[in-house]
Amino acid sequence: MRTDLAASYGEERLPRYTSYPTAPHFSPAIGADTYASWLSELPPGASASLYLHVPFCREMCWYCGCHTQIVRRDELVAAYQQTLRSEITEVAETIGRRIKVEHIHFGGGTPTIMAPEAFAELMAAMRHAFFVLPSAEIAVEIDPRTLTSEMVEAMRLSGVNRASLGVQSFDPVVQRAINRVQSFEQTASVVGMLQRAGVNGINFDLIYGLPHQTVASCMDTVRRSLELGPDRFSVFGYAHVPAFKKHQRMIDEKRLPDGLARHDQACAIANALKEAGYVQIGLDHFARPDDAMAVAFEDRTLRRNFQGYTTDKGEVLLGFGASAIGHLPQGYVQNEVQIGGYAQSIAEGHLATAKGYGLTDDDRLRADIIERIMCEFSADLGDICARHGAEAETMLQSASRLKPLISDGVVKLDGDRLAVANHSRFLVRSVAAAFDAHLDPGKQLHSRAV
């Protein structure tokens, strides 16, 4: 990987492209009535994935970029769970039939902050409202510091088969600097509990670019993580946006690594995981060769949604909870971000949609191109454009940001087929951004490209 390219492109703020257009372009013009109409128009054979957002934690991690709040009273969590149940019923009734579900993902916050019986009740409510396939992947994000054996048992009984564990770093200096002290022993204990309960799909989340982080500390975290043998790793660069996430002001900016140091950390982690036998999946995921995600990457069926890379082939993602985002063939919807406003909407008997985006034909074309670039590091522009009734030449002419990338050897263009050079794959977001008609480089809304 070339450090000159990291220096040239690494400081630019770009989306992670878990959607296109991205969430900053959502508008209040798309509200509850639009969402209800879109739900009622879903075709009879449609299947869906469900995302449930639980926006509560016991304490704030200062690096966090999620919609979450600190809660001490379990009554607030219990009330929120009841609101989720009501929203599930409302959405199912609006669809008008028991739609098939292939994936369920609990995100946060800390979803396992719920009482075990409340989690089980929520799963039962989803199975009542939707036809959850026996083969469905049911995944839960977990904070190993607070997971109990009772919650693990509730997960087992509810059919959970994948868990994503926040690790970030095992370096105690880094942990103190981000207010997340979590021992290796805690993490190992949770992995053991999950595996004994039959939750065998284990994902570790790691972060580089944190305060005080070095290549050596990253390598130590990788080494210790490998001892626990997760199936997948998600490796993200820390996005420091204190203007939007005020708790990030607790992080000493002088202790953050610069762009080149972040690049070195990302490369070191990637190389170590590949040497350990993991397949690099797109921008930031790694999986064992026999894992479903690695197979999808090899088969070119990998997809990308708000959870990152996924094997989910569906066109319908139903989001539940405060700030949750959904995706339907017609466009995107997002619930009220504030918990109070979200709960009030549901209590009043209507959907909690606060904003969204209706897709145009051009959006769908560009979304396909960007997804293939993000998932495969390449895109057959002739084929994709033909499927959308467009011309590849016109698309290339409109992508002015592509020219310097070609000149710098980041991108190779063979006719209408575009490919990201192997040594430049860490700049895949920069390549995808060349086809983003909505991108405003002047707004610092996103994380750094490297």
Tell me: the pLDDT tens digits for 347-392? 999 999 999 999 999 999 999 999 999 999 999 999 999 999 999 9
- The pLDDT assigned to 313 comes to 85
Cα distance between residue 237 and residue 210, in whole Å = 8
pLDDT in tens, 82-127: 999 999 999 999 999 999 999 999 999 999 999 999 999 999 999 9
Query: Reduced to 3 states, what is the DSSP secondary structure of residue 374?
Result: helix
Indicate whether 161 pLDDT > 90.
Answer: yes
Residues of the chain with CATH 1.10.10.920: 361-448
Cα distance between residue 307 and residue 106, in whole Å = 10
Cα distance between residue 34 and residue 40, in whole Å = 10
Cα distance between residue 250 and residue 9, in whole Å = 27
Q: Pairing relation of β-strands 56-57 and 47-54?
A: unpaired
Cα distance between residue 55 and residue 116, in whole Å = 17
How large is the angle between the packed helices 149-157 and 116-129, nearest 10 degrees? 20
**Beta carbons within 10 angstroms of residue 194's beta carbon:** 24
pLDDT in tens, 91-103: 999 999 999 999 9
**Could you give the C-alpha distances from 3 to 9, 16, 210, 262, 412, in angstroms and in order?**
10, 21, 19, 11, 19
pLDDT in tens, 212-263: 999 999 999 999 999 999 999 999 999 898 988 999 999 999 999 998 899 8
Instruction: Identify whether 21 is preceded by a cis peptide bond (ω within 30 of 0).
Output: yes
Cα distance between residue 342 and residue 350, in whole Å = 10
Residues of the chain with CATH 3.80.30.20: 18-358
What DSSP string describes 315-346? Answer: S-EEEESTT-EEEETTEEEEE-SSHHHHHHHH
Contacts of 196 (CB under 8 A, 6+ apart): none
Cα distance between residue 252 and residue 319, in whole Å = 35
Contacts of 157 (CB under 8 A, 6+ apart): 120
Cα distance between residue 88 and residue 51, in whole Å = 11
**Beta carbons within 10 angstroms of residue 22's beta carbon:** 19
- What average pLDDT does range 79-84 have in this prediction? 98
Indicate whether 444 pLDDT > 80.
Answer: no
End-to-end CA distance of the chain: 12
What is the model's pTM? 0.93
Cα distance between residue 96 and residue 318, in whole Å = 14
The CATH architecture annotation of domain 361-448 reads: Orthogonal Bundle (1.10)
Q: Alpha helix locations (H) across 284-410?
A: 292-299, 339-347, 361-376, 381-387, 392-398, 402-407
The CATH architecture annotation of domain 18-358 reads: Alpha-Beta Horseshoe (3.80)
What DSSP string describes 107-144? Answer: EES-GGGS-HHHHHHHHHHHHHHSEEEEEEEEEEEE-T
